[in-house]
Chain A
């Protein structure tokens, strides 16, 4: 497979992963561009790997972990300016408003977590990796991954089944309610 074929085939999934990981479209674009440029430079080696995706995903994760907040890329004030201090327009739809408010709160708390904890949650609950696979991506031990996950979930006040909290295999099956 050539580099061009690989990027055409796999970049949508990589972009989705980067978007979920960063929560920022521009940052996801910057990171994937940067990573793909580096992949291109060493493609002859990466192409020989059994699972190039895992390697590239690791590069994206590491890029996210080490990304220095751009000083200039965009002017993004905290929240919005005062002129946008308006009542939530969806107040007439309490269910939707509640859902979005809760999701906003969760997003906000997630963004405040250390980046490695954020990455563990994305790799576990979005990518469905096991602790040992996550450890491989992050370059640490599975017990460290479990530590990150426990702290992150406690901070976010997310309740899991005990078996989920220390699982070693992906658990992507939705829980019965």
Chain B
């Protein structure tokens, strides 16, 4: 039996997870400012009065000492935009399907932008140097009006800049840097570096060169014929061929998010990996299931690739059924992969 002391020790250990106070207070300031702005904009729209010039004032009403608060942009029409189709930085109008990208894969000034993950609210792309495998930054493009965390700025005093004529902010801290801008009214995009900070002009150049196109679906290298009852995808991560972490994963949820499952395909066989000990078979292939703090995970060796399924609630027997019902495209040729809409049954 466990004791009360065990419980207390566990809770005490969890204290280490407490977020940074300054980050949270800065984030709170931004949430407050955004809501104030939203209310102001709503009132303005109702009155058909343009109040963009007044918004920064409203946004700063709770922004701490002078100069400490994050400047909040107005929401007027982005300067410099024209009616031409899909200019750089402009998202095509119309709804985006939940698991489709609008970020255009492209090469820009020595960098490659490759979409990697998508869900109904957010698209993520990796930014890598041409020919490199390591990601140097990540691009996040949020659906307009999405309510989400505001902790984008890395410092308390981000530098106001412009991206394609729209307000933007550059911030840097230690080895990281970030730029955020409004790609469309109410919709934010962020580029966060990972590894080392990028100069302001480099990030501005990258942000300005981000291009959008008509929606195209995320792709996965398999089709499922069986999915546990109630599960629907909520996020798709699309592997990048040649990247250091070539993996594709679809996350599913059921019961309002209380049950989750993910199915991933990883490059290579698990047989050479430390700790691999195939002690069962799934779909006639060597497999290993491992217990974790938050559920269990089963890895199945398909030779050139590994199928990895994790869940807290789906039993191993049902995971085996999922794996047995998978049919595969050519893992090495993303051109053969399936659109997510056809890969997942009963959506």
Contacts and interface: CB of A to CB of B under 8 A. Distances in A.
Contacts of B294: 78-79, 108, 111
Contact of B120 (A71, A81, A156): A71
A83 B62 CA distance: 47
A11 interface: yes
A81 B149 contact: no
A66 to B, nearest CB: 12
Interface stretch (B82-90, B256-264, B333-341): B256-264
Contact of A29 (B7, B23, B276): B23
A85 B289 CA distance: 9
Interface in A83-131: 83, 85-87, 102-108, 110-112, 121-122, 125-126
A170 interface: no
B310 A28 contact: no
B260 to A, nearest CB: 7
B21 A80 contact: no
Contacts of B249: 75, 77
Contacts of A36: 24-25, 28, 31
A19 B121 contact: no
Contacts of A41: 32, 35
Interface in B92-151: 117, 119-122, 148-151
Contacts of A108: 292-294
Given A75-B237, A81-B264, A82-B297, A125 B11 contact: yes
A25 B21 CA distance: 12
A28 B308 contact: no
A78 B4 contact: no
Contact of A19 (B15, B275, B296): B15
The CB with the most chain B CB atoms within 10 A, among A72, A83, A86, is that of A72
Interface in B288-309: 288, 290-297, 299, 306, 308
B245 to A, nearest CB: 9
B52 to A, nearest CB: 23
A12 interface: yes
A3 B260 CA distance: 39
Contacts of A25: 17-19
A125 B4 contact: yes
Contacts of B247: 81
Q: Which bracket fits the contact residues of B?
A: 35 or more
B312 A78 contact: yes
Contacts of B64: 4
Interface stretch (A47-55, A140-148, A158-166): A158-166
Main secondary structure of the interface of A (DSSP, over half): helix
Contacts of A22: 17
Contact of A11 (B7, B21, B31, B62): B21
B217 interface: no
Interface residues of A, number: 64
B185 to A, nearest CB: 21
Nearest to B26: A33
- Interface hub of B4, B275, B310 (most chain A Cβ within 10 A): B4
A69 B293 contact: no
Interface stretch (B155-163, B174-182, B222-230, B266-274): B266-274
B8 A126 contact: yes
Given A30-B149, A75-B235, A85-B276, A11 B17 contact: no
B6, B24, B251 interface centre (most CB from chain A within 10 Å) = B24
A20 B293 contact: no
Contact of A33 (B15, B24, B253, B274): B24
Given A77-B310, A81-B308, A174-B5, A72 B119 contact: yes
Interface string B185-206: 0000000000000000000000
7 contacts: A7-B25, A11-B24, A12-B21, A72-B148, A103-B9, A105-B293, A107-B10
